[in-house]
Amino acid sequence: MPDYREMWKDLGMNLELHDQLCEVLPVAFGDVYLTQDNRPESMDYYNFVVSEIHGVRPAELIEHQKKGGKVFGTFCVYVPDEIVFAADAIATGLCGGSQFWVPGGEKVLPTSTCPLIKASVGARLDKTCPFFRIADMYVGETTCDGKKKAWEILAEDVPVHVMDLPQMKRPKDIAAWADEIKTFLGKVEEFTGNKVTSESLANAIRLINDKRRALARLYSYRKNETLPISGKDILLISQIAFYDDPTRFTSMTNKLCDELEERVKNNVSVFPSGTKRIMLTGTPLAIPNWKLHHIIETSGAAVVVEEMCTGTRYFENLVDETKTTIDEQLDALSNRYMGINCACFTPNEGRIKDILRLAEEYQVDGIIDVNLKFCNLYDTEGYKVERAIKEAGIPVLGIETDYTDQDAEQLRTRIGAFVEMLGTKQFA
Ligand code: BJ8
């Protein structure tokens, strides 16, 4: 493995603190991932990407910057990457998924803030993540109160552009989001010095749609009765999708899909037949948050779909590729993005419909509604979500967790009992 210390030093990182992270991450990855049997060979690519997580991709981003290119860091699936790529810049997801970064965030944020926000702020302020150092500009959004205030704190340290996301889905809101994307486009043009043309935007729309198509294809194999790949592996791929080079990611994911297709033909499964099928719904699982998948898949069940931003919300629905003027393309982008159903919207009936549809498509036996501690939006929406799931006759378990391992044993007990119950007559 090349030595990236010089690069990290040049980025102004706190090397001593970062060393601690470098020590624990490979161990956690080994325990969670490399202990699995019969993984598809094409997972080697994603293993490599994770093993070099703070090396290979950051080095590519720096190369891009040396050639005069800009890097934008994003935190939400409503922010349209297409605009960034259309201006010859690179977008990279920045959401923090490790407890390692939480104390850094707690230095400036109330403890009662969700761990995703605390970890994201901590990763920047503690200087322990190269992606957070590299990004020339952060793009925030007005999704939840915690994030809104966090942008103000981050803006003291790095340029931040905040997109004003409407919280309803009336036609005027969709028009407002198209307008907000237009403002973003102007900002990106000004910051990069590059003009976005209808042609470059059309190319970027295709680029990101191709990534969505690859992910949709990947997920389709989880609808099979025999599961050719674990939920844990799919989660890892979904997380990598946020920061890998989109062209390479799409091609490697399609390569993996070819292998999975063969596995399905040959009836190769990574789980014993009859394994209970679980859907996760709720708040996102940012890298390296693998806790729940690991507990579920070592408790006799398989995760077959995630109605999450690290899941179906990221790739379902394509942007219309037939539009030829910038204004039409902005409308097409707004339409696609406003089709995502995050709990920050009211009403948000679309999410319940999605959950029930996915439950059928992926033949799930039970649903776990996951809430990141202190996420008031998803916690409150959980009432209606869980009621609808119960009414549909699907067993549901609501859990709240954070990034620590303190509740791991308790979760294991609850999830184990839930999985066991799925096998009893009670839910038959
Ligand atoms: S579209 S889920 S990525 S906002 S978990 S920070 S909501 S307090 S991450 Fe999210 Fe966009 Fe919605 Fe998806 Fe706030 Fe809740 Fe924390 Fe959240």
Query: Atom 7 of ligand 1 has which residue's CA nearest to it?
Result: 144
32 lines ligand 1 (CB under 6 A): no
144 pLDDT higher than 70 = yes
The number of folded domains in the chain is 1
pLDDT at residue number 3: 86
| Ligand 1 centroid distance, CA of 266 (Å) | 39
Question: pLDDT class for 79, splitting at 50, 70, 90?
Answer: very high
pLDDT tens by residue, 276-328: 999 999 999 999 999 999 999 999 999 999 999 999 999 999 999 999 999 99
| Ligand 1 centroid distance, CA of 286 (Å) | 11
Query: Atom 12 of ligand 1 has which residue's CA nearest to it?
Result: 342
425 pLDDT higher than 70 = no
Q: What is d(CA 252, CA 120) in angstroms, rounded to the nearest whole number?
A: 28
348 lines ligand 1 (CB under 6 A): no
| Ligand 1 centroid distance, CA of 143 (Å) | 7
Query: Atom 13 of ligand 1 has which residue's CA nearest to it?
Result: 309
pLDDT at residue number 5: 96
Query: Atom 4 of ligand 1 has which residue's CA nearest to it?
Result: 143
428 pLDDT higher than 90 = no
Q: What is d(CA 114, CA 119) in angstroms, rounded to the nearest whole number?
A: 9
2 pLDDT higher than 90 = no
> What percentage of the chain carries pLDDT values higher than 90?
98
- What is the phi/psi pair of residue 252, to 5°? -70, -35
Q: What is d(CA 222, CA 235) in angstroms, rounded to the nearest whole number?
A: 12
78 lines ligand 1 (CB under 6 A): yes
Range of the domain at 231: 5-424
- Indicate the angle between helix axes 198-220 and 326-337, nearest 10 degrees: 30
pLDDT at residue number 1: 63
147 lines ligand 1 (CB under 6 A): yes
Query: Atom 14 of ligand 1 has which residue's CA nearest to it?
Result: 144
Query: Atom 1 of ligand 1 has which residue's CA nearest to it?
Result: 342
pLDDT at residue number 423: 83
In whole angstroms, how far apart are CA 173 and each of 178, 305, 327, 333? 9, 29, 16, 13
pLDDT tens by residue, 363-413: 999 999 999 999 999 999 999 999 999 999 999 999 999 999 999 999 999
How confident is the prediction for the chain on average, in pLDDT? 97
Q: What is d(CA 304, CA 300) in angstroms, rounded to the nearest whole number?
A: 13
pLDDT tens by residue, 193-207: 999 999 999 999 999
130 pLDDT higher than 90 = yes
| Residue 428: Cβ within 10 Å count | 6
Closest alpha carbon to 55 in 8, 122, 118: 8
Residue from 113, 114, 162, 163 to probe ligand 1 pocket by mutation (most atoms less than 8 Å from CB): 114
Concatenate the DSSP letters of all residues of 146-174 into one string. Answer: HHHHHHHHHTTTS-EEEE---SS-SHHHH
48 pLDDT higher than 80 = yes
